Amino acid sequence: MSSDRTFTIRHAGPADTAAYKLVHGRDEAWFSDVALVSMSVFIAEATDEPVGLMVLDEGRIEYLYVEEAWRNKGLGSDLLELAETLDGGGTRTTK
């Protein structure tokens, strides 16, 4: 992962429902009742604000989003690298 980072990536927990604003096309219930409970959710933050989000479900990337202002800064690549590391390199995206 990038050594010169202006963002941090951490595992999300039940208190992270505010990151729902990054989940476009899904309802809040899916995020709080399904994703945060039964999937691995990671939040990328800059100055304590969520700027990226990745949801993994059994080795598959169920959802990946990076705020437009944070694109082309290595954040998406770091999220993908994290997914590959956690899954031993076998991570697949869903269609």
Q: Could you report the per-residue pLDDT of 37-74, keeping only the tens digit for each?
A: 999 999 999 988 899 999 999 889 999 999 999 999 99
Question: Which domains are present in the chain?
Answer: 8-89 (3.40.630.30)
Tokens of 93: 């995206």
Confidence (pLDDT) at 15: 84
One-letter identity of residue 23 = V
94 within 8 A of 61, measured Cβ to Cβ: yes
Residue 4 has pLDDT above 50, yes or no: no
List pLDDT tens digits, range 74-85: 999 999 999 988
DSSP state of 76: H
Task: Report helix, strand or coil for 92.
Answer: strand
